[in-house]
Chains A and B, each alone.
Chain A
Amino acid sequence: DAGVIQSPRHEVTEMGQEVTLRCKPISGHDYLFWYRQTMMRGLELLIYFNNNVPIDDSGMPEDRFSAKMPNASFSTLKIQPSEPRDSAVYFCASSLSYRGGTDTQYFGPGTRLTVL
């Protein structure tokens, strides 16, 4: 299996522009998580989906952030408009529900976003 795939790996954009990050989870996994990692705030959960349905988006920082999962093999995280403070590494992770409980989260390589 190719693992979790994220694109792009690096994104540099200017303040005010729309940014779309993409994720392909591991085939068969029913949970998908979006995280943001910064030096100051560490690893933050933004939103997670179960069977393509958003379960908890309380970590989404502002209305400028939105996430969708139109099918089991694709998810997007969109920032519109982007701001310099959104600069971070964004990770997507997926997992498979295990006997009704938590199981390993498999992370993608991340997208390093720089907003100028």
Chain B
Amino acid sequence: QQQVKQSPQSLIVQKGGISIINCAYENTAFDYFPWYQQFPGKGPALLIAIRPDVSEKKEGRFTISFNKSAKQFSLHIMDSQPGDSATYFCAASKNSNYQLIWGAGTKLIIKP
């Protein structure tokens, strides 16, 4: 019940296309859902995060869509660029617990 399942494991998208990465969780107590971006040789860095009081959050070309009833959330990258090529991790946590439960990661490659 503590798991966060992330898919796909890898994704190749043409430049200008939409990249979509999905995550699902079981624990209904989770109330914080961040996405982290990791470039080779670097540590993960927060990209965007959402709390369950909203169904969507947009920051530039990056959007989180959240479906509370389905216990799913997804990251959409619009107009994908080669510079977006990285590994993306979803995560979840409970407000009372500072530990993030991490997805397995998605390696995204944007082809020019």
Contact = CB atoms under 8 A, between A and B. Distances in A.
A87 B36 CA distance: 23
Contacts of A106: 45-46
A61 interface: no
A104 B46 contact: yes
Contacts of B100: 45, 102, 105
Majority-rule SS of A interface residues: strand
A16 B99 CA distance: 31
Interface string A18-62: 000000000000010000000000110100101000011000000
A100 B96 CA distance: 7
Interface string B19-44: 00000000000011010000001111
Given A42-B105, A43-B105, A45-B99, A109 B89 contact: no
Nearest to B45: A107
Given A42-B104, A101-B32, A56 B99 contact: yes
Interface in A59-116: 91, 93, 95, 97, 100-102, 104-110
Contacts of B49: 104
A1 B102 CA distance: 27
Contacts of A109: 41-43
A43 B93 contact: no
17 contacts: A4-B43, A43-B44, A43-B105, A45-B102, A55-B98, A91-B43, A93-B43, A95-B98, A97-B98, A101-B31, A102-B94, A102-B98, A104-B49, A107-B43, A107-B44, A109-B42, A110-B41
Interface of B: 31-32, 34, 41-46, 49, 89, 93-100, 102, 104-105
Given A101-B32, A102-B94, A109-B42, 14 more contacts: A31-B98, A42-B104, A42-B105, A43-B44, A48-B98, A50-B98, A91-B43, A95-B98, A101-B96, A104-B34, A105-B44, A105-B100, A108-B43, A109-B43
